[in-house]
Structure 1
């Protein structure tokens, strides 16, 4: 016949279930093909020559349709129930056509369910191709468009016509990606559902849309692939809404995790670039960076702002723009500036951003090269404009719109609350830190007992100020108390507790109590402070403390610990060890005793007292941190290195990493009073030995070249030894120490407290201590388990009378 047979399978698929018979005018079957006979389970010979009504399953009542065009009463179209040889009924749909110039009738029939399916398929296909928001494309095996409903109005591109390829209406890169997806469906038969595909027109490549692509393979009756049906739905709005939601979620997760103002601002621009724009910056009021509230202003002038954060999609900040940390210049009074100051967002283009500035220099500072669209929003929180965020698009072609402005406003408002929280934290942190530093003693001291240097580092990375402290308390007889403590809790409450504990320790130290007894008294104080605290905060009142007393005459150090890390000792030969101090309970626990430990210290030894913030390094446990500290101190404590230099280098090793705890460090380089500068005697409880004590004192002062102090010192020794023999018994010890002052100590076995009183004119006694108070710069007493010691200090030639030797 000369007709093409390439698509015979398609036709067979479409008409394979269709059959036909020829009837005469009376409805008798004249000719019947095998397919029609087989539909009834009969042969053609059995069907031909019979009236069609005899073939019905239930007589003439089995025919439903319109008017009959023939004498046999067969309607022009309808449905009929034919009788099968097996006895069952076969329902068919039929149509009767009168042949031209003949009385014969052509009856076309097919099983009714096939006809119903064909009708539904046609309806569905017609409905799909009539859609205005769903694009349909039928592609053959070569992916050439066979049929489509895509118009220029549907996706904003050129028309997609039969015989064309996707590359003719889509950007080459997008067309290749789409055809690759369709080819995979054609080859595998696996449907594609909802794949997002970028679509740009070759005529307007800057205009980008997102399509949701679904596709399935078309097959012939034999199951061979003949093409692909593709459905395109515009998902640009859906994708944008999802992108905005993702951006909001990202902003909520990343912004506000720090209590540092600058870090919070940097987190904001890092969220916006490149997800929202190509360049972004945040300008903050200088007052905000200092933790204070910004001044309210409206209009141009000096904004008193600094560039706090920048971000660029390519990682490089343009040199012409205001750089990170630079001051924002004076700005003219322009409408966009006033809108930002009133709390509104601004959208503008390159011309709208640069022209109002007037000055080309300002334009270069604010308009980046290639920037075509700008959106700005204020950082507005609690009625204050803290600064502003600005985002430019330089590479992305689409300009910002009102939805983008709303999105940036929402993100900026959340960020502004975080910035304001960080600002308020900065103010409180600085206040607490200033109070903490004012409550701490001088960082460096120098006395006969040794040279000390103290260091305090506050917590970083948003952690609150804790209650770490150190102290150096001068004691009589050239001794010195070294203290380090760590209060539980943080913030102003911990700082106030620290101040009270430091005052208590200083007061108790003046009583010259043994370290274990002193900690017992401080423990009682902490328990009282806990009882005074609100009910829900009583468990948060407590502290650890290490108290040490060093005696440069005996060269030994007595220590007691209240739950505090042990000190580190570096000997003059460079070897280091951790002093094994009996660990007592933390202050405030109560009910358990404290124990003292005494160690001998060679002159030139380095003693390090610290809080656990120094020993906790990253994931390292405190034992590992103490080992690190011991090794570092041994390496740093070389000849000639001062405690200040050692401590500075040690803390520099910690770097700038965030710390969740404060650090207090106290280093003491010990000294010793030379043996030739001390002299001691012991006398029995006999009044006759008072003269011996005076003579021994005179001889020793002469040996030291201090004859000018002999008369005064004899009076002091005579009075103290006499009182000891009279009221305490013996033995009585006398010790003289020559340093920057002359110290006289008389010890006896009694614990009776000497009292200074005013004697009446007729009294024979009671003037001894009054006389001693007039002859010395200081005097006092201390107690031990063996009794008490009365001590006095006298200035040497060249020292300032009436001024204690420990004041420098």
Structure 2
């Protein structure tokens, strides 16, 4: 058998420009849409190798090839021009004015025969429609009748009214099916929901139909994609159906031939043992149509009526034809939906699944992927607990979309967490991040905001790299919007970065966002920030964000505030072109009674004074169970300062969900755990600290450092949620 020269199945080629032929029209676009629909439906309906349309030129009695589908124009070259007396199937069909099947493979593409049928116009013959068949023997009468029906519609549409609706007579109570509108709507459809909406808007009204079900075929099961006009109990039962359990659908999928059932009596006559699902349907008539794309059945579309409905030949043809277009659109949309879902899953996998509930901060966040983009974005946020109940908040946006940008975002988020654990101030942390982004390449950039909240000092410090500044919502509902000069984005900046400071009252809301939330095609950043501030002010006054509540209730109110902001700033999320990130944190300052500190002398007496201070303070806090361990820890830390560092020395105790002990000194020397041998007299101090505490670490200040350790509180001393 000859090699089959096949082009993409959805492609329609015009071998030569239409000149003075019968099919030439002043509406080239409508002409092409009609040819595309006719050829696709003819080839798909007969499961052919390819399909062709010839125009008939009465003046010289020739057939001239004007469009092909499924094969290349070069493969159809031997039939580019056919005299009326030729023995090829298209020419025989013209002479006899009937459908003609001629066996063989005249074009050498692997066909078994050619079925041709003339295209009768309103008052003259306009051409021939041919399908190069692949099955054994001549197509049966059902398939030949199907091809003749398509040819009748195509002939009238092409010859007399090329710009007219698909149905040249009104089909229903409203208006005829507008082929151009439907084709445009399906071409613009991105998601499966868009395809269903386009079909419902442009097809159901002309037929007077009031029900629609779309199924996607997955292996041997049908997955409900969408439906209209059915009760909930029916849809619950119809979510997933084995193809074999529904005889009607089994016939449609197996034969690729639509089934038109005009009444329940007709249904029971054809399928007396149908599944109980049919009994739940409130409909009285149905059109079951296979959705075919790329030569495969990809789903089933069911158009239904609440009253018995006799289907005319024209209605059957139109529904069959339209289902071919819908099959292609649905396959494309399903691929988009699947890719979009995978992209969102990847993006969310790179973000924190939950935000921690911390003593000084409750928070809620939103990540909103671009509605019209299957690629992952580079927006991220995080909430990182630091020592002494301090909290780091970060939000950023890697410029661009795609796997590379998502990977960069993942690297930056990991780097921020690592550097945050070292208790770096925001400006120094940005210096490290900037170097990292630069190393990724010249085209790598990221905007970022990194903020550290200190509940004891009641301040927050932050740095900006090309990012919108934070917004502070005060307890009385007023807003404070700092307007510092941001540094350039990471990857484009030259350190040092600026460090900014804010004083906070007892409670505040800190709002951080990416530009995707506030900037759009019809709104610049300043307008978006103004709208965000207005929304926050109204919401804070209305919902009482600062009222009494436990931590769970606090988070719940923040979640509701996030939803309010998103609804106001992104009312049509499906149309957004950029990702958006939002982080809202409720800060709570530490009560003065939960902090105690004292200065210590720079001599060996310091350790004893520190132990005495710990005993008195823990007795006041009723934490006597921790006294012995805390004395050991403080004695070791203060002793290290006296032996290896320099003063001034200060001890601070912080009571929260844990007990934190901090020792400050004037040295920048880094403490390290040593590996002491059995014969060493020292070197085990920090090993003891690590063993007795939950965690420990160091942070560096402008004039020295702080060594801190944390211990779990006894259960009875834990604060109640």
- Structure 1 and Structure 2 fold alike (TM over 0.5): yes
Cα distance change on mapping 1:465 and 1:387 into 2, 3 Å:
farther
Distance across 2 between alignment mates of 1:437 and 1:398: 49
Cα distance change on mapping 1:462 and 1:382 into 2, 3 Å:
farther
Spell out, residue by residue over 1:152-190, the C-alpha distance to the aligned partner (whole angstroms, 9 max, x if none): xxxxxxxxxxxxxxxxxxxxxxxxxxxxxxxxxxxxxxx
> In structure 2, the residue corresponding to 1:791 is in which secondary structure?
strand
Q: Which moved more, 1:774-783 or 1:638-647?
A: 638-647
* Partner in structure 2 of residue 341 of structure 1: 253
Q: CA deviation at 1:747?
A: 1.8
Q: CA deviation at 1:474?
A: 0.9
TM-score by length of 2: 0.65
TM-score by length of 1: 0.59
* Partner in structure 1 of residue 214 of structure 2: 284
1:481 to 370, 379, 392: 392
1:388 aligns with 2:301: yes
2:336 to 417, 425, 446: 425
Residues matched between the structures, number: 542
Kept in 2, the 8 Å contact 1:321–1:368? The answer is no
Q: Which moved more, 1:416-425 or 1:682-691?
A: 682-691
Q: CA deviation at 1:306?
A: 3.8
Spell out, residue by residue over 1:107-156, the C-alpha distance to the aligned partner (whole angstroms, 9 max, x if none): xxxxxxxxxxxxxxxxxxxxxxxxxxxxxxxxxxxxxxxxxxxxxxxxxx
Q: CA deviation at 1:269?
A: 4.0
Cα distance change on mapping 1:710 and 1:388 into 2, 3 Å:
closer
Kept in 1, the 8 Å contact 2:595–2:653? The answer is yes
Distance across 1 between alignment mates of 2:456 and 2:255: 71
Kept in 1, the 8 Å contact 2:224–2:238? The answer is yes
Q: Which moved more, 1:781-790 or 1:677-686?
A: 677-686
Kept in 1, the 8 Å contact 2:475–2:508? The answer is yes
1:721 aligns with 2:638: yes
Distance across 2 between alignment mates of 1:559 and 1:424: 43
* Partner in structure 2 of residue 308 of structure 1: 226
Distance across 2 between alignment mates of 1:318 and 1:756: 70
> In structure 1, the residue corresponding to 2:492 is in which secondary structure?
coil
Cα distance change on mapping 1:417 and 1:766 into 2, 3 Å:
same
Q: CA deviation at 1:577?
A: 1.9
Kept in 2, the 8 Å contact 1:278–1:396? The answer is no
* Partner in structure 2 of residue 356 of structure 1: 270
Q: CA deviation at 1:481?
A: 1.0
Kindly report which structure 2 residues correspond to 1:34-73, keeping only aligned pairs within 5 A, or say none: none
Cα distance change on mapping 1:706 and 1:366 into 2, 3 Å:
closer
1:742 to 650, 659, 670: 659
Distance across 2 between alignment mates of 1:426 and 1:273: 24
Distance across 2 between alignment mates of 1:620 and 1:235: 49
1:559 aligns with 2:559: no
1:599 to 491, 502, 505: 502
Cα distance change on mapping 1:643 and 1:604 into 2, 3 Å:
farther
* Partner in structure 1 of residue 201 of structure 2: 270
Q: CA deviation at 1:697?
A: 3.5
> In structure 2, the residue corresponding to 1:477 is in which secondary structure?
helix
Kept in 1, the 8 Å contact 2:608–2:635? The answer is yes
Q: CA deviation at 1:558?
A: 1.0
1:378 to 291, 297, 321: 291
Distance across 2 between alignment mates of 1:798 and 1:319: 54
Kept in 2, the 8 Å contact 1:484–1:545? The answer is yes
1:662 aligns with 2:579: yes
> In structure 2, the residue corresponding to 1:605 is in which secondary structure?
strand
Cα distance change on mapping 1:712 and 1:333 into 2, 3 Å:
closer
Kept in 1, the 8 Å contact 2:298–2:331? The answer is no
> In structure 2, the residue corresponding to 1:714 is in which secondary structure?
helix
Kept in 1, the 8 Å contact 2:262–2:310? The answer is no
> In structure 2, the residue corresponding to 1:447 is in which secondary structure?
coil
1:509 to 397, 420, 428: 420
Cα distance change on mapping 1:237 and 1:421 into 2, 3 Å:
closer
Kept in 2, the 8 Å contact 1:279–1:394? The answer is no
Kindly report which structure 2 residues correspond to 1:516-531, keeping only aligned pairs within 5 A, or say none: 516-528=427-439, 530-531=440-441
Q: Any unmatched runs of 5+ in structure 1? A: 1-208, 213-233, 297-302, 311-316, 532-537
Kept in 2, the 8 Å contact 1:443–1:455? The answer is no
* Partner in structure 1 of residue 536 of structure 2: 633
Distance across 1 between alignment mates of 2:469 and 2:410: 23
Cα distance change on mapping 1:322 and 1:606 into 2, 3 Å:
closer
Kindly report which structure 2 residues correspond to 1:701-712, keeping only aligned pairs within 5 A, or say none: 701-712=618-629
Kept in 1, the 8 Å contact 2:284–2:306? The answer is no
Distance across 2 between alignment mates of 1:582 and 1:799: 49
* Partner in structure 1 of residue 159 of structure 2: 238
Higher relative contact order, chain-length normalized (CA < 8 Å, sep 6+): 2
1:777 to 694, 702, 705: 694
Q: Which has the larger radius of gyration?
A: 1
2:708 to 791, 797, 803: 791
Kindly report which structure 2 residues correspond to 1:323-342, keeping only aligned pairs within 5 A, or say none: 337=249, 340-342=252-254
Distance across 2 between alignment mates of 1:329 and 1:729: 77
Kept in 2, the 8 Å contact 1:463–1:660? The answer is no
> What value does the CA root-mean-square deviation take over the aligned residues?
4.2
